[in-house]
Structure 1
Amino acid sequence: MAGTDTPPGLPAGPPVADGLPTLRPRPAGAPRATPVRPAGRDVVVDCAVYVDGRRQAPVAPEDALEAATAQGGFVWLGLYEPTERELTAISGQYGLHPLAVEDAVYAHQRPKLEHYDDALFMVLKTATYVEHEELTATSEVVDTGEVMVFLGSNYVITVRHGEHSGLTDLRARLEEQRDLLCLGPAAVLYAVADLVVDTFVDVASAVTDDVDELEASVFSPERTDDIGRLYQLKRELMSLRRAVSPLEIPLQKLAERQMDVVPEAMRSYFRDVQDHAIRVREQVGGLDELLSSILQASLARTTLADNEDMRKISAWAGIIAVPTAIAGIYGMNFEFMPELQWRYGYFTVLAVIVLACLLLYRGFKRNGWL
């Protein structure tokens, strides 16, 4: 299938189902870039039919929905960065809403939950922590992606964007929980949401270590410049915050509202995920506030250091002004100046200069300027 535009068995071009609208044309002057899937990657990652919580014999993607309907089960179709043509062809079979298809193709959506007739469309932002030896002013700390889920009475379609947050291991773990899979496609949506939120917890914990390292650096006895690193970490933390905060409302809807495709038994599961999301949001918010405080402390420390430098410069300038003034006066070469004809005048002037400088140095030292 690699290198083709459409999955095998699915029609190329617009959906063939009568009456199904196609994607809206892009407005002039506002084009969207079509996703480019890496070479060698198939659009269909996995496709399976589940009946009574058990995975059935392998079936072709184009026959999966019919097989699931006939057996009273559901099909889970996993896609990776489909193009508009590929997903439009699949939407013809499953009756997906064109607006949801458009969002799934072009990605870069906020976490949300949309209700289209008897189907749901949910967008979840994924995140992963980018390992780095040392945090710099340009370090990438949080990498984000997206997972979109189409949910119907007898199907669930997951569309993944990004090189992380693969769902292969999740599918394997979920297939070991037959009781959960017996609850239908909503169980898959719960498992995906739970995985995404659990990943947020791991990312927030890793970012906490970076915040602790910066805090120790800012308040260390050594003079450091951490402002650039602090701003960079705040920007990266903002990406995580944008992924976590908007997720609460969709999860609340799934936990509290009655929906045909979400059984009553699944609401408690979504409520648990919502609680985890709230805790992560509070943790991320706390980290952001702590970073703001550390940034203010760093700026205050930098200002204090600049003031100390300025006082030292001013003190030394005051000390140097004494010999400069005396030497300037005697360098005017007037004929009648005090002590010009005295044998010990030169040494006396030097002694006066040294004594004055020592007195000034002592005074500045006592006042903390040096």
Structure 2
Amino acid sequence: YYNARDLSVLMSELYNATLILSSATPSIESYFNVLRGKYELLKLKSRVKNYVYPSVEIVDLKKNIFLSSKLLNEIRQTLEKNNSVMIFFNRRGYSPVLICSDCGYVFKCNYCSVNLVFHKSIKGNYLECHICGKRYKVFEICHKCSSYNLKVVGFGTQRIEEELKNIFSNYEILRIDRDSIKNRKNLELIIRKIHSNYPKIIIGTQIIAKGFDLKDVKFAIVPNADLGLSVPDFRNYERNVQLLIQFIGRIRTGGLVYIQTYEPENEVFNFVKNIDYEGFLNYEIKKRKEMKFPPFYKLAIIEAKSKDETKAIELITEIYEKIKNENVEILGPAPAPIEKIKNYYRWRIILRSKSYKRIKEAIEKIKNYNVKVVIDPYDLM
């Protein structure tokens, strides 16, 4: 594994070349290098053609339902003015959970420790693991209590599309996600429709947050901005704020954006509301320093995996014992956030230090072990 940005920096140093890193939402590491004087920061003083950012409203989901009457009325008014609506929801499928109403059993993948996602299809509905891709027929009976009282819970892009088609049947609704884009020809057709100047509703995953210039979109919605915040990873706030600000950037002058959340008091939403990405970077850098995460500390993941969970635990424990006296902080041993993937159990330790040298010295002690080592991991999943 390698980081393309970091490799580009290294190549520019080796060849004494000027490197330009361009982004509307640069990484915390890049911005930290600006603060250290290692990088020079160049800012665009205005949006292209002097477009003004849309108004952003943070909506409290504790006081409003997922598709509230207020939200639906705003959609209706936008469409009646011959403008379009865009909805960003980073979860494909119809529903993320199939559950037994009697005992609470949740159907999971046989090979990965994640819930199966319910999908609708004209060829027949199915359940899919979004980690390994395995598909299952839709179960009719609970595996635990043998009840037939099963139900799907929660929303995916398919369900949002279905709900809105029932309400706004006179308008075209376009869904853009991995399931709806079957091939290049299909993608090109959808893109042409998106850029066509007639009222429509566009629903999509993160693919719609980047690259589109949509002149007729005047109302945009993030139905649940909390999806990315609950991920157990130190970069989750950074990634979520980047996506939200990139999504807001799709809207031209005079637009309105609703961002719905169960945590409107969360400080990060103030930065999103004010489209203050630099303010967020400064805020998050302080948090990273307090929590001893990059860019202040270096990390490395050492992961043991086996189809036998006991063997994975024994191997990572043996490695821990071998390096525990090295001059690095060790987190774990513990299971990975997604403990089982493709029938392999994953147990790991995380090395943390201000010094790459100390981490490398610890890793050198276990070079003969059959484990996965990731230095400077982009995420901890």
Structure with higher helix content? 1
For CA contacts below 8 A with separation 6 or more, give which structure has more relative contact order.
2
Same fold judged by TM-score > 0.5? no
The higher radius of gyration belongs to: 1
Give me the TM-score of the superposition, normalised by structure 1. 0.27
Structure with higher strand content? 2
Give me the TM-score of the superposition, normalised by structure 2. 0.26
